[in-house]
Amino acid sequence: FNQLQIQRSEEAHLILPIVLFPVVQQVNILMPVCLTTYTMSCLCLQGIEKPFTEVIKANIGDAQAMGQQPITFFRQVLALCSYPELLNLDNTFPEDAKNRARLILQSCGGSSLGAYSPSQGIDYVRQDVANYIERRDGGVPCDPDNIYLTTGASDGITTILKLLVCGQGIDRTGVMISIPQYPLYSAALAELGAVQINYFLNEDNCWSMDIQELQRAVNEARQHCHPRALCIINPGNPTGQVQSRDCIEDVIRFAAKERLFLMADEVYQDNVYAEGCKFHSFKKVLFEMGPEYSETVELASFHSTSKCYMGECGFRGGYMEVINMDDDVKSQLTKLVSVRLCSPVPGQALMDLVVNPPQPGEPSYNCFIKERTATLSALAEKAKLTEKILNTVPGIRCNPVQGAMYSFPCITIPDKAIKEALEKGQQPDMFYCMTMLEETGICLVPGSGFGQKRAHITSGEMTILPPIDKLTILLNKVKEFHQRFTKQYS
């Protein structure tokens, strides 16, 4: 920790705050966010003039914070559940919203969202989740007893990792994660004392997975740990790719051969934009590959209310489904989730609405479809706009944003800028991002914090979520800054 260079605002005479993680490398991932945001706050408090009027936070996938509107039906039902007296009002809420609220409340202890639920989640909601998965996967059976309602997908992911991590020395659990990576995984593995096994996505092939790369990673890892799990994010965060069905089949075969537990992070399953791309759930592909795989490969898949067209990050709703988990291990999983009593009940209620939205013929259906379509269409438009504008800039190359909510462009930084950054004790991409913040007010995080080998701006920090007019301004500012920066350091 002492090796970190904690920046200080001399004008404000304040030391920057920092979030401590178990190991230094985890601090490095999130530190640019703390530094840039807090530095700008100090400067604004001191009245120092900047060539911009606001800081545009393009560094997080928080949809509603960036202007995405919530779905009316979801909020109506949650309002009714939170304050049941509203059910007595005439003509204020549609009848299907009232009926849904009554069903949810009837499934809660004391007919109240304020009561604890079973640790695995409300039975009624888990049944609706199971029905949703069956519909999504074309009739592949889903047992509600395999469903666990979670505090967002991140809670389910960390719970499964806790279940898998054990051993010491060469027997320590190793977990394979993709690079560029989503920091949740590296931070959780560091906290648990597991070994992070990096496998690199193929940037030249639109961030696809390469089985030879997976094999390389697992072979090298067996020299110093016991690989037990393989994590996949599809559609990808921070890289925005959508994996093909053939790729998913290859990954399942690889996991079966290497006896790896599969963790499928599928929270962006509705966010698919590119022509020719389609979301395939790992569970559906697994079962369509036949009993050789569907009866043996262990799988946990995750979904959330935070992404897709919902963007309800703050409610912390999610679920995980476990497949082929040993009964004794599953009982330990149930004990593990019991420690936290239950996930937030309002989040469970919201998850129920996501998996069982208004149906044709119901009063709220037309409004729901209109809002859902508008949100996803806007995201698709912004995905194309991002790729189009960034690829007009010499020195920036951006793969198609096939899905999710992010781009991950490759930035070429001039040698003179690299030299200056190193002289200042900074990584070149950190120097680039801090300079951009000072000159434009755009807050991004360098790709090196995501483990990427090249100097990148990360997609998790280059979100496509701002409204189309603000996103256009943002992208043009990035374009103008890069041209100016390149000329300055040419």
Going 16 to 407 to 238 to 423, the CA torsion angle's sign is negative
What whole-number distance in Å separates Cα of residue 401 and Cα of residue 61? Answer: 15
* CATH 3.90.1150.10 domain span(s) along the chain: 50-66+371-488
Q: In the structure encoding, which two tokens stand for residue 220, read together?
A: 């090298």
* CATH 3.40.640.10 domain span(s) along the chain: 116-355
| 14-15 and 8-9 beta bridge pairing | antiparallel
Name the average pLDDT for the chain.
86
Q: What is the 3-state secondary structure (H, E, C) of 369-438?
A: HHHHHHHHHHHHHHHHHHHHHHCCCCCEECCCCCECCECCCEECCCHHHHHHHHHCCCCHHHHHHHHHHH
Q: What is the pLDDT of residues 322-361, one digit of tens each?
A: 999 999 999 999 999 998 899 999 999 999 999 999 999 9
| Residue whose entry in the numeric block shows the structure tokens 């993709």 | 178
Q: In the structure encoding, which two tokens stand for residue 77, read together?
A: 């039902």
Residues in contact with 158: Cβ distance below 8 Å, sequence separation at least 6, in sequence order: 184, 188
50-66+371-488: CATH homologous superfamily? Aspartate Aminotransferase, domain 1 (3.90.1150.10)
pLDDT: which is higher, 12 or 161:
161
Angle at 458 between CA 453 and CA 464, to 5 degrees: 155
215 by Cβ neighbours in 10 Å (0-12 / 13-18 / 19+) ranks as middle
Residue 455 has pLDDT above 50, yes or no: no
Residue 35 has pLDDT above 50, yes or no: no
Residue 252 has pLDDT above 80, yes or no: yes
Q: What is the pLDDT of residues 175-209, one digit of tens each?
A: 999 988 888 899 999 999 999 999 999 888 888 88
Angle at 15 between CA 12 and CA 21, to 5 degrees: 150
| 318-323 and 147-150 beta bridge pairing | antiparallel
* Confidence (pLDDT) at 7: 38
Q: Which of 22-31, 63-72, 129-138 has the highest mean pLDDT?
A: 129-138
How large is the C-alpha radius of gyration of the chain? 23
What whole-number distance in Å separates Cα of residue 59 and Cα of residue 444? Answer: 5
What whole-number distance in Å separates Cα of residue 281 and Cα of residue 233? Answer: 11
Q: Please report which confidence band the pLDDT of residue 14 belongs to, taking 50, 70 and 90 as the band edges.
A: very low
pLDDT: which is higher, 107 or 36:
107
95 by Cβ neighbours in 10 Å (0-12 / 13-18 / 19+) ranks as exposed
pTM of the predicted model, to two decimals? 0.84
Work out the average pLDDT over 45-66: 76
Residue 158 has pLDDT above 60, yes or no: yes
* Confidence (pLDDT) at 451: 65
Architecture label for domain 116-355 = 3-Layer(aba) Sandwich (3.40)
